[in-house]
Amino acid sequence: MRPIAIFYHIYLGGGTIPCDPENVTQIVTEQLSALYVSGLAASAQYIEIGVSGSEEDAFMVQSMAPDWKVTHNKTGVGELPTMKLMQDFCKSHPDWYVLYFHTKGAIYKGHITVTAWRNCMENVVIWRWKSCVADLESGLDSCGCHWLKPSQYPIIGNVPYWGGNFFWARSNLLNTCPPIDINADRYQAEVWIGKGRRARVRDYAMHWPGAHCIQ
């Protein structure tokens, strides 16, 4: 199996939309636990967490994950600074398997639909990570939930992408994507992966994200 890198974005502030720190802390606690309990953390060769927020926020996250690299995103909007870290890493690490995910729902405390959406994505990319890695081992470029295609959903624009922006991908695929502008609008984080070469993907939740994730 090729080496694994994990990039995890935590939003605690700094953008135009406020979040509830207590809500984010709960999400982070659950996601970190999933990484450990699933065995994924122990199997990864590199883990980096990008934090949008204050220096105190970054320090708190480092205390929660003392063994991993935590980078404080002092500029930029939303996920893009963390994704730029991932992009820079991939340039010098070809043939790695890369997981990207974030604190989906940080600004939606107690929102049933958003929570179900996040749990759906976590179930695939974290709890079922061995299946995702097997997909990449088989020759696929990426896997995750909600691969939205313009031919199926014209409303999304001109490129396909993972709805919700949790995904596994080969670093070689990500290296075909355009340079990331950390000051672009937050929607660019989601569509970025679709701007690379045409990808061979496996979609574990072939439906529109959100309410459809509620069973």
Q: What is the pTM of this model?
A: 0.97
In this prediction, residue 14 carries a pLDDT of 80
Neighbouring-strand partners of residue 169: 98, 142
Confidence class for position 215, pLDDT limits 50, 70, 90: low
pLDDT tens sequence across 3-24:
999 999 999 988 777 888 899 9
pLDDT tens sequence across 125-151:
999 999 999 999 999 999 999 999 999
pLDDT tens sequence across 38-86:
999 999 999 999 999 999 999 999 999 999 999 999 887 789 999 999 9
CB atoms under 10 Å from CB of 77, counted, come to 20
Reduced to 3 states (helix: H, G, I; strand: E, B; else coil), residue 151 is coil
Average pLDDT, the chain: 95
Burial of 39-61, coded b for 16+ CB within 10 Å and e otherwise, reads: ebbeebeebbbbbbbeeebbebb
